[in-house]
Amino acid sequence: MLGPWLVTADELADPSQLSLKLSVNGELRQNANTRDLIIDVPGLIAFATRFYSLLPGDVLLTGTPEGVGRIKAGDVIQSEISGIGKMTNLVQAQA
């Protein structure tokens, strides 16, 4: 699932300076910044386009910093990206 927000390039001043936080049940598990990516955002776009064409609306997803750990049904995960917003998800057991 993506959202509740997506932003376009004109709405985000610098994608290489975004704070990323993730907590599980109120415990901070990840605290990182896009400046720490092994390949920066423009570099990721350049790398991807060496292999396929990107079209408007395409989304590039990267890995995640250490710290998530195990989660279980009933856990509440809150993620936040500076300048974009927060998202809260309740973990449910597989049906």
Domain chopping of the chain, boundaries = 9-90
Residue 64: per-residue pLDDT: 79
Q: Determine the straight-line distance between the first and last CA of the chain, rounded to whole angstroms.
A: 18
Q: How do residues 1-58 score in pLDDT, each as one tens digit?
A: 676 667 887 888 888 899 999 999 999 999 999 998 889 888 999 999 999 999 988 8
Three state DSSP letters for 71-85 = CCCCCEEEEEECCCE
20-39: b or e for each residue (b if 16 or more CB lie within 10 Å)? bbbbbeeeebbebebeebee
Measure the CA–CA gap between 45 and 40, rounded to whole angstroms.
9
| pTM attached to this predicted model | 0.77
Measure the CA–CA gap between 82 and 46, rounded to whole angstroms.
24
- As a CATH number, domain 9-90 is 3.90.850.10
